[in-house]
Amino acid sequence: MLGNFSYCNPTRLYFGEDSLNYLHDELSKYGPTVMLCYGSGSIKKNGIYDQVMDILKASGKTVVEDAGVMPNPTVEKLYEGCRLAKENNVDFILAVGGGSVCDYAKAVSVSVYCEEDPWEKYYLKMEDVSCKIVPVGCVLTMVGTGSEMNGGAVITNHSQKRKIGHVFGDQVFPKFAILNPRYTFTLPKYQMVAGFYDIFNHITEQYFSGEDDSTSDYIAEGLMRSLVHSSRIAVKNPEDYEARSNIMWTATWALNTLIAQGKSTDWMVHMIGQSIGAYTDATHGMTLAAVSLPYYRHICPYGLKKFCRFAVNVWNVDAAGKTEEEVAAEGLSRMESWMKEIGLVMNITQLGVREEMLEGIADGTFIMQGGYHVLTHDEIVEILKESM
């Protein structure tokens, strides 16, 4: 393990079929007015809305509803949520939904009392929070982002064709998160497998960096193996509790900052994927899947030893009698086979990307410094072309 670090994760998790039972006790710690954030209304169809509302009422809360949070929350929706929260003087924000709803709730939490434009302050200037923060809790209904136990909040600005994530400090982490794997069973297959790849890519973004013998990398390998195993079960039987519970737990640990400790991290797949999302509004996990293999094949020569380790330790490639290049290539080929097996989108054309968008997507891609190779603008364009 290289470097020095301080680690704290303040989010309390409640996991399992009875986890919602703890919501009442958590709500008692906060003031009387709760803003309930959710998406298009699926929680009303599957009964989760009624369960949560019963607990809110039993807890004596005044509920302000903020519905219609979209899969890629927009800056306009953020402004709307801020107005609603401020007008009602909300004491607490409860997000019920997937990662986008959790992201949105955190973005609102730091923006309600922000005296500047939050898009400008947090997403363009990347400044820290300097105002009162409204606390947030989450009831998770789909997995992938890990937003239930981190400080990340991604917002899309369609007019500027930018989709940007800000990772806030631990004061913005949800105070608690309720994870019932059964809540994920009704998710459509497309969204389910997109979430699976979001989880996997969160791990690889942190794994493909550094050359030292890092405990974080051993944990990452175990998480990846678990995810691959359980994903194969879940695509055949989405209601296999053991598989879905393992995936839910893996998603949280993939991006709750644990496996980033003592490491540099890459995040270029996310940067490219988010820029694609700003142009197409495509499902986040699918944007990552569509660009991953061209990107990893591009940087493989710069991090060859780690790609060999990935092939052997995650994909069980037999390295005997093979060159490092052959081992690494076989690992990526096995990853590709798994991606196709579970039904991921493998090219950006299917997501609505056209050739005339490529320069703009490259222009909107943040270039990160922590991976094995720092990309140029032209390399990003080339990777996008290979992803079509």
pTM: 0.95
Q: Where in the chain is the domain with CATH 3.40.50.1970?
A: 12-183
Per-residue CA distances from 178 to 105, 124, 139, 333 (Å): 15, 32, 5, 37
Cα of 95 vs its chain's centroid, Å: 15
CATH architecture of 189-386: Up-down Bundle (1.20)
Task: Count CB neighbours of 325 within 10 A.
Answer: 13
Q: What is the pLDDT of residue 3?
A: 78
What CA–CA distance (Å, rounded) separates 18 from 232? 26
Q: At which residue do the structure tokens 């389910």 appear?
A: 192
Q: Which residues contact 383 (CB under 8 A, 6 or more apart)?
A: 272, 291, 294, 295, 298, 375
Q: What is the pLDDT of residue 320?
A: 97
Helix and strand tally (H, E) in the chain? 15, 8
What CA–CA distance (Å, rounded) separates 48 from 97? 10
State the 10-residue block means of pLDDT for the chain, 388 residues long.
87 97 97 96 92 97 97 96 97 96 97 96 96 98 94 95 94 98 95 97 97 95 98 98 98 96 95 96 97 98 98 98 98 98 98 97 96 97 97
Joined tokens for residue 300: 């493989």
**Class of 12-183 per CATH?**
alpha beta
**Helices 215-236 and 304-315: angle between axes, nearest 10 degrees:** 50
Q: Residues 249, 349: contact at Cβ < 8 Å?
A: no
Joined tokens for residue 63: 């509920």
Q: Where in the chain is the domain with CATH 1.20.1090.10?
A: 189-386
What CA–CA distance (Å, rounded) separates 363 from 161? 10
